[in-house]
Amino acid sequence: MKLDQRRILITGAGGGIGRAMVEALNASGARTMGVARRQRSAVAGDPAEPQTWLQGDLTLAPDIDRVARAAIAWGADTVVHAAGVPAFGAFGQQPAEQTASVLQINLWSPMALTQALLPHLHQLPDARVVFVGSALGRIGIPGSAVYGATKAGLHRFAEALRRELAGSPVSVQWLGPRATQTAFNSPESVAFNQATGTASDPPEVVAEALLALLRSGAAERHIGFPERLAVRLNGALGPLIDGGFRKHRDALFATPSEGVTP
């Protein structure tokens, strides 16, 4: 894929990984349309066509429809689903309404937006849909039960859709970052990562991995070692490596809330 010939719609573009992706894509010569919950001003891009921003709350069906219609009118040929919200903590301590909200934005929203855009993408000679997941969607880590479930579901959806659309003009790709150094992380999750020795990357590393994924056309790309190895081992060995996460469990419950037990 030649990035300077693409028009790329990217959700979650207001900050963190999404913002870094917008900047990297613009620098590569791609045209980008960023979707953010809050209205943003244009950023540097092609002087003849500045970076385009759309305000939209992707938990709302009318906003998904509006974003899809705007992207189609703009001529988007690539979609990068980078929007997401965190959910760190012991499952027994998380409010049910928070769980529902995380499931909606992390799983339902990218599925709904993809479905709205598919008729348009099928009319193009070459279209891409990229889902930004997480290593936590491939490896069950204490403290990530809800977040990991949304990313696991998204991975399975992307995998099935990739196989369903094989032979069509629409290719489906998956990018799996590990922990990333952004405001996405709560102080509690930062402390947890430090206690467990979990490595993290600046968002620019994830953005460069997206560019490499798009250029290569590969089905999947996972970031970081030992996370890439852990993904393979977890898929092959599953319960046999459960004991390897004891330090994560201990760190999670080091200071449990009153009345909550593991």
Q: 156: exposed, middle or buried (C-beta count within 10 Å: 0-12, 13-18, 19+)? A: exposed
The rounded distance, in Å, linking the Cα atoms of 78 and 130 is 8
The rounded distance, in Å, linking the Cα atoms of 208 and 76 is 21
Count CA atoms within 13 Å of residue 35 on its CB side. 28
The rounded distance, in Å, linking the Cα atoms of 227 and 6 is 31
Q: 170: exposed, middle or buried (C-beta count within 10 Å: 0-12, 13-18, 19+)? A: buried
Phi, psi (degrees; rounded to nearest 5) at 55:
-90, 130
Count CA atoms within 13 Å of residue 90 on its CB side. 17
Choice among 147, 174, 184, 192 that is catalytic? 147
Tokens representing residue 159 in the block = 């995998």
Residue 203 a catalytic site member: no
Tracing tokens 């996370």 back to the chain, one arrives at 227
Q: Is the preceding omega at residue 226 within 30 degrees of 0, hence cis? A: yes
Report which of 79, 86, 147, 145 is spatially closest to residue 112, judged by C-alpha positions: 79
The residues annotated as belonging to the active site are 147
